[in-house]
Chains A and B, each alone.
Chain A
Amino acid sequence: MTLCRVGGALLSLAALGAAATAGAEPLVYVSNERSNNVTVIDAASDKVVATIPVGNRPRGIGVSPDGRTIYVALGHDNTIAVVDAASRAVKARFAAGTDPEAFAVSPDGARLYVSNEDANTASVIDTKTGKVLATIPVGTEPEGVAVSPDGRLVYVTAETTHTISVIDTSALKTVATILVGSRPRESTFTPDGQRAFVTAEIAGSVSVIDVAKNTVVATLKLDRPAPKPKGVVVHPSGQWAYVANGGSNDVAVIDVQALKVAAFIPVGTRPWGLGITRDGKKLYVANGVSESVSVIDTASQKVVATIPVGKAPWGVAVGR
């Protein structure tokens, strides 16, 4: 027991140290698919503070819970780059099948869940060793990956079968398959883990899932011409969900309780990845064609800054 307490105290100190290393304000990391780097934005000033070369065709991006490590999927290198947040240098590369695109970091930081598009599987990678712990069959052309807040479930979208494969992270197997709209791209959970939101690019809709029942409880049509929704995040309060509409160049704001689209916020051209700060005050939108990031003030639902980044910005991850 005493040892546990000491261990806990040490962990807390380590976490504090990590936070101090990364600074008091969060950093925002943006993968640039065609300039092969990651742009680092200081969320306090909304200025670019660094650009990190990572490798070829960076797309999916995530940050460890302690903020010390950034993971970047490198499609043309067939690896996940492991970037040290302090030194801003690539410190390792995990093998990740062919053309890795999307992944999610477990809440405890111990695992990466990676979709393998060509193999129709999801891989589970140990972040300490880089070894693949399991390979799990999912739907055809898997893409978006999301982990539930409690870490118990992983959702993997499959673009060709229009499904969500629900993976039990203890059993490491698919325990349910949910049919959603045509070409599901990404999913995310509400903070309480009770609902999940799934974007369907060709259907132009968002499927809302009751997580406990594995059923679609609502399908929200995005009333725009060819909206092509892609990225989706939920506000830390659980009140709002935000959807990047790559076709209509805006972000849809969804009222999570009412299950209605409350607003559309115009942003740059082909908005794709989204990231929201932990306090929920700012939403960052990667505009793939504009080669910029739009910063949305979530209270006013207005773009308050537009930041030039690299070529074809794709994903956004918010650190500490």
Chain B
Amino acid sequence: MTGHRVGRRAFLGSLAAVGWTALTLRAARAEDVFTVGVVLPADAGKATELSRGAALGLDDANALATLFGKRLRLETEAAGAGGQPGRALARAGALAVVGGVGPGGSEALLQVAADGTPVFNVGASDDRLRNEGCERRAFHVMPTVSMYVDALAQLLIEQRKLSSWSVAGDGSPRGAEIEAAVRRSVARRGGTVTADAAASDVVLLAVDDRGVDATVGRAIAEGRRPDRIAGVGEAGLRLPAERAAGLWALGWHHELERFSARELNGRFRRRFNAPMTEVSWGAWAALKLVGEAVVRAGAGDGAALVAFMESAPPFDGHKGEALTFRRWDHQLRQPLYVVGPRKREDVVGPLGPFAVLADVGGKNLDALGTAMAESRCRFAP
């Protein structure tokens, strides 16, 4: 797939020859323009999160790209408008497509990748997409269920010595995937998964996002301490403030401050008067990644973009570590965060009902998620 470009191809070639480390400002010449497609989900709230993150990412990417005679532009497509979301964007010449948010979003995105256009998944955490469903041109910015569960296990089992877990499931496919990840992660760390919830140290929610509120409520009603309930993703953060409970593994949180996360969160809030969510961060990161590929490697087509991402360039996601895609499944290595309920008296001003309790991963980011040896995807030799 060739990216949509306006400008002088000869200049691009010479620029690439110079190498990314030697680029300097060139003034007064035509811009090379690259289109990035964004597939918006039917859910209006998620679509807003995605489009906001992409907009900020576009600005940040262009703050760099325009210094070097290049520019990214966004084209959006709404899912549910008929056909397969993302394909029209790809056919129109998008250099890459960003999406994967909402039901069916990931399948559509992988089809676009299979057709030849690089895609960035910023919404789907299913491990399957990085294993038996993996596609060479798909890059996963969103963490996986396994990564989330590993983050919780690192904190609760390795650090807090809470090694006996029970699972509160709902029988949904999402719940089944979470439960499988729990069994794998707990066993790996020498813990146990027990059917006796009352005897367990921790209850892990293995439910569809829509079942989180009720399941947390039941656990609390049964006398479970709010900090001994755990789950994955942002669903728990939508609990009413007066019922805030549980420890939740996330890829981003709007109260993060270290490593210039405060500046990124601040830019997002100033622009949209809203918190930067995990999907927003993912879309921001995807746009920045594409922008860096275009500037640093002169990536003007899909093959060059894939090659750049596979070269593991150290990406700065304001998480304090160099973020790179795993070569065996194209999952972005990244620290994760565990948030938990804040004391009610501390919920004042900008501080919400959940506080960041821990960042997990540190210098061994491959301890989160599927290791190469257990991966069912094999891009790497």
Binding site for B on A (CB under 8 A): 117-118, 120, 139-141, 159-163, 176-183, 201-204, 207, 214-217, 219, 225-226, 247
Asked if A180 contacts B316 (CB within 8 A), the reply is no
Q: Which residue of A lies closest to B295 (CB)?
A: A179
Residue of B21, B60, B64, B313 near A163 (CB, 8 A) is B64
Asked if A140 contacts B322 (CB within 8 A), the reply is no
Residue of B24, B260, B263, B363 near A178 (CB, 8 A) is B24
Q: Which residues of B contact A178 (CB under 8 A)?
A: 23-25
Q: Which residues of B contact A216 (CB under 8 A)?
A: 21-22
A317 to nearest B CB, angstroms? 23
A24 to nearest B CB, angstroms? 42
Residue of A179, A183, A214, A215 near B316 (CB, 8 A) is A183
Residue of B23, B60, B63, B263 near A179 (CB, 8 A) is B23
B321 within 8 A of A: yes
CA distance A118 to B269 in the complex (A): 13
Residue of B25, B316, B321 near A177 (CB, 8 A) is B25
Residue of A163, A180, A181, A182 near B67 (CB, 8 A) is A163
Contacts A139-B63, A160-B63, A163-B67: A182 and B316 contacting too (C-beta < 8 A)?
yes
Interface residues on B, range: 20 to 34
Q: Which residue of B lies closest to A219 (CB)?
A: B21
Asked if B314 contacts A202 (CB within 8 A), the reply is yes
Q: Which residue of B lies closest to A208 (CB)?
A: B21
Contacts A141-B260, A219-B21: A202 and B322 contacting too (C-beta < 8 A)?
yes
Asked if B21 contacts A161 (CB within 8 A), the reply is no
Asked if A182 contacts B315 (CB within 8 A), the reply is yes
B68 within 8 A of A: yes
Asked if A179 contacts B266 (CB within 8 A), the reply is no
8 residue pairs A–B, Cβ–Cβ below 8 Å: A118-B266, A120-B63, A178-B24, A179-B20, A203-B314, A214-B25, A216-B21, A247-B363
New contact pairs (16) apart from A141-B263, A160-B60, CB-CB < 8 Å: A118-B266, A120-B63, A139-B67, A159-B316, A160-B63, A160-B260, A162-B292, A176-B24, A177-B24, A177-B25, A179-B20, A182-B314, A202-B315, A202-B316, A214-B24, A226-B363
Asked if A226 contacts B321 (CB within 8 A), the reply is yes
Contacts A141-B263, A226-B363: A215 and B22 contacting too (C-beta < 8 A)?
yes
Asked if A215 contacts B263 (CB within 8 A), the reply is no
List B residues 258-282 near A (Cβ within 8 Å).
Answer: 260, 263, 266
Residue of B60, B67, B315, B322 near A226 (CB, 8 A) is B322
CA distance A178 to B315 in the complex (A): 18
B22 to nearest A CB, angstroms? 5
Q: Which residues of A contact B67 (CB under 8 A)?
A: 139, 161, 163, 177, 179
Contacts A178-B24, A179-B295, A215-B22: A140 and B63 contacting too (C-beta < 8 A)?
yes
Specify which of B64, B296, B363 lies most central, judged by the most chain A CB atoms within 10 Å of its CB.
B64
CA distance A226 to B260 in the complex (A): 17
Specify which of A140, A161, A219 lies most central, judged by the most chain B CB atoms within 10 Å of its CB.
A161
- Which secondary structure dominates where chain A touches chain B? loop
Q: Which residues of B contact A120 (CB under 8 A)?
A: 63
A179 to nearest B CB, angstroms? 4
B361 to nearest A CB, angstroms? 12
Q: Which residue of A lies closest to B64 (CB)?
A: A161
List B residues 1-54 near A (Cβ within 8 Å).
Answer: 20-25
A104 to nearest B CB, angstroms? 20
B325 to nearest A CB, angstroms? 14
B308 to nearest A CB, angstroms? 13
Asked if A225 contacts B363 (CB within 8 A), the reply is yes
CA distance A178 to B68 in the complex (A): 10
B116 to nearest A CB, angstroms? 29
Q: Which residues of B contact A180 (CB under 8 A)?
A: 21
List B residues 312-353 near A (Cβ within 8 Å).
Answer: 313-316, 321-322
Q: Which residues of B contact A161 (CB under 8 A)?
A: 60, 63-64, 67
Asked if B25 contacts A207 (CB within 8 A), the reply is no
Asked if B322 contacts A162 (CB within 8 A), the reply is no
A47 to nearest B CB, angstroms? 33
CA distance A58 to B260 in the complex (A): 17
Asked if B24 contacts A182 (CB within 8 A), the reply is no
Q: Which residues of A contact B21 (CB under 8 A)?
A: 179-181, 207, 216, 219
A246 to nearest B CB, angstroms? 10
Q: Which residues of A contact B296 (CB under 8 A)?
A: 179
Q: Which residues of B contact A182 (CB under 8 A)?
A: 313-316, 322
Asked if B314 contacts A204 (CB within 8 A), the reply is yes
Contacts A160-B60, A203-B322, A226-B363: A179 and B314 contacting too (C-beta < 8 A)?
no
CA distance A225 to B63 in the complex (A): 30
CA distance A179 to B294 in the complex (A): 13
B257 to nearest A CB, angstroms? 12
Q: Which residue of A lies closest to B270 (CB)?
A: A118
Contacts A179-B68, A183-B316: A204 and B63 contacting too (C-beta < 8 A)?
no
CA distance A179 to B63 in the complex (A): 12
Q: Which residues of A contact B63 (CB under 8 A)?
A: 120, 139-140, 160-161
